[in-house]
Amino acid sequence: MPIDLSWTCESGAQISRWHITESIDALSQKYKELGGDWAKIVELGGHVRHKLAARILIGQAFPNHSIVYGSDGKPLLSPFSAHINHSHAGDYAILAVHPRHAMGIDIEETRPQLHKIYPRFCNDKEQEWLGPNPSILHLLLIWSAKESLYKAIGKKKTDFKAHLLVYPFDVKNKGFFEAEIILPDLHKICKIYYQCWETYVAVWTCLG
pTM of the model: 0.91
pLDDT at 141 over 60: yes
Structural domain boundaries in the chain? 3-100, 107-206
Helix (H) or strand (E) holding 130, with range, is helix 124-130
Give pLDDT, residue 163: 98
pLDDT tens-place string over residues 16-28: 999 999 988 898 8
Query: Any idea which architecture 3-100 has in CATH?
Result: Alpha-Beta Complex (3.90)
Distance CA 101, CA 108 (A): 23
Q: Assess contact for 168 and 129: CB atoms under 8 A.
A: yes
Q: Assess contact for 117 and 136: CB atoms under 8 A.
A: no
- How far from 84 is each of 71, 96, 163, CA to CA, in Å? 16, 6, 23
Strands, E, within the chain: which ranges? 3-8, 14-19, 66-69, 75-78, 83-89, 92-98, 103-109, 164-166, 174-183, 186-197, 200-206
pLDDT tens-place string over residues 37-70: 655 666 655 678 888 888 888 988 898 888 888 8
